[in-house]
Chains A and B, each alone.
Chain A
Amino acid sequence: MKILVAVKRVVDYNVKVRVQADHKAVELANVKMSINPFCEIAVEEAVRLKEKGVASEIVVVSIGPKGCQETLRTALGLGADRAVQIETEEGVDSLAVAKLIVEVAKTELPDLIIMGKQAIDSDNNQTGQMVAALLDMPQATFASEVVVENGEAQVTREIDGGLQTLAITLPAVVTTDLRLNEPRFIKLPNIMKAKKKPLVVKTPEELGISISSNVSVLSVVPPAERQGGIKVGSVAELVEKLKNEAKVIA
């Protein structure tokens, strides 16, 4: 069984982002970039399926500028076998990204496509579902457990109010939620090995996909600052303030 995993390079989870002075975008210059945490979980899940003997090959794909080759090397270090970069500018929208992944899937013919449920930069939570729709594949989003057997994936999903389990026929798309697994640390020898694994670069033109978008960003501004409040000295004072000042409890 072959697994295709899509990974995105994003501003590191721990960085507090700043908006550019011209309010056109978020400042990306000299900011630490990392693999999107949900994508890392997706790679880890694929590697575990390979270690269990369920999967035989893992291909990772990333879309973006040259820097995302680093992200692909991270995925290769985690245990993916080979990588495809589709070179574009920053900020390609989800639909175009989905179309590019679909083109890769049409050549690679994976049995399972695993992706993160959302990227922590654009917070869209849509690319996996779009890939599934365009390939007319079933999907299981927000996965917290994946079991593959008998040509289907049984996936437990994190939904509002609890958990839901679906059985989807392969080939299919799964998107990861944070409790699916805890990605391993990459050991030094694996970093060295990852450098030697195959990585090919393609362009949207070669794949015949237009990445133009009908959505334009008019402005990006910082959120309204919340005014800090006061410290209270005791529980009694807190209750008194909530009753008489804030009037949020009776």
Chain B
Amino acid sequence: MSILIIAEHDNANLKPATLNTLAAATQIGGDVDVLVVGSDCQAVAKQAVQAQGVTRVLLADNAVYEYQLAENVSKLVIELSSAYSHILAPATTTGKNMLPRVAALLDVAQLSDVIKVESADTFVRPIYAGNAIATVQTSDTVKVITIRSTGFDPVSAEGGNAELVTLSQVIESQKSRFVGEELAVSDRPELTAANIIVSGGRGMGSGDNFKILDGVADKLGAAVGASRAAVDAGFVPNDLQVGQTGKTVAPDLYVAVGISGAIQHLAGMKDSKVIVAINKDEEAPIFQVADYGLVADLFEAVPELENAL
């Protein structure tokens, strides 16, 4: 068996989700190649070379790949695909955007958001927002899979010594053009990579009130997240959303503040190691999954918590 992983990166750094995907590949077994496709991304390739368990790093470094547009990256992956039994990508917005095109062009199914490897052809994935867990088997010749990071502990980013291979294929995308981006600038860790997350819900009341979570987050070195209700109410941008339609996280500590605990939110965080809920409604469903529940007015409890840390 031979596995191709499409690396998650921003042309400068290899993103941790790639290391979780490598862990899944290691469980499937066989040679593992990592494709780094981007522009001016040599540094990423060097990091991938050092990651544990990589046989070869394939580097496609060209200006046409700068924004990793799905149209041309999928065609590049297709050109490489005949050598592989499995093609994997992290289930990030980049992987989710691009990989289904690969599956369709190969005329095979895609298994999305796999959380467990049973064998080389059998995988476990959540459905219905994690309210049911399906075990699926595929007889497709090439197995195309996105990996949910929270299902796999990352391999070490160091100690590997893969061979670096430079690819020469240049595939342009004539029909899709990058116009611009607005990326949140934050000194805090990324939501999906954070060890501690402090999340706010509808109970925060307003976008301004969300700022009281910042002090706690800063003291804990935590990322700030939100429920869909808080996003829908316009308190915070959508990229903070944790849940079925947002990000799936599993930090060591998840502090849910003013979050009632709708099943769609629980779907995104219930694999956290320790869950704390602060809510004034003692009947809130969040308390059923919380290891430590505090029934209190968050506007008193949060500042008090910040002071106590």
Q: A: which residues have CB within 8 A of B?
A: 11, 13, 16-17, 19, 26, 38, 93-95, 98, 118, 120-134, 137-142, 144, 154, 157-169, 172, 177-179, 213-223, 226, 228-232, 234-236, 238-239, 241-242, 246, 248-249
Contacts and interface: CB of A to CB of B under 8 A. Distances in A.
Interface of B: 67, 69-71, 74, 92-94, 96-105, 107-113, 122, 126-140, 173-184, 190, 192, 196, 220, 228, 231-232, 237-239, 244-245, 247, 252-253, 263-264, 270, 273-276, 282, 287-296, 301, 304-305, 308-309
Contacts of A213: 109
B71 A129 contact: no
Q: Which of A93, A141, A235 has the most CB of B within 10 A?
A: A235
Contacts of B135: 217-221
Contacts of B288: 226, 228
A168 B182 CA distance: 18
Contacts of B273: 248
A138 B176 contact: yes
B134 A248 contact: no
A137 B134 CA distance: 32
B134 A246 contact: no
A15 B252 CA distance: 30
Contacts of B101: 129-130, 132-133, 139
Contacts of B110: 94-95, 124, 126, 130
Contacts of B177: 166-168
Contact of B137 (A126, A141, A218): A218
A94 B100 contact: yes
B293 to A, nearest CB: 5
Nearest to B290: A229
Nearest to B296: A235
B126 A223 contact: yes
A23 B247 CA distance: 27
A161 B184 CA distance: 6
Nearest to A239: B308
A158 B237 CA distance: 10
Q: Which of B190, B247, B296 has the most CB of A within 10 A?
A: B296
Given A162-B183, A178-B245, A249 B220 contact: yes
A242 B271 CA distance: 17
Nearest to B295: A231
A30 to B, nearest CB: 16
B139 to A, nearest CB: 5
B258 to A, nearest CB: 15
Given A130-B100, A141-B96, A228-B288, A178 B180 contact: no
B130 A223 contact: yes
A168 B139 CA distance: 35
B70 A17 contact: no
A9 B241 CA distance: 25
Contacts of A19: 132
Contact of B175 (A118, A137, A226, A229): A137
A131 to B, nearest CB: 8
Contacts of B290: 228-229
A119 to B, nearest CB: 10
A160 B99 CA distance: 16
B75 to A, nearest CB: 9
B305 A217 contact: no
18 contacts: A95-B108, A120-B244, A139-B176, A158-B238, A160-B239, A161-B184, A162-B239, A165-B180, A166-B178, A167-B179, A169-B175, A172-B175, A218-B136, A223-B130, A229-B290, A229-B292, A230-B293, A248-B253
A138 B101 CA distance: 10
Q: Which of B132, B253, B264, B305 has the most CB of A within 10 A?
A: B132
A223 B263 contact: no
A179 B231 contact: yes
A15 B134 CA distance: 19
Nearest to B8: A160
Given A16-B263, A217-B135, A129 B97 contact: yes
B109 A138 contact: no
A136 to B, nearest CB: 9
A162 B247 CA distance: 13
B292 A238 contact: yes
Contact of A241 (B126, B138, B289, B292): B292
B273 to A, nearest CB: 7
A121 B267 CA distance: 13
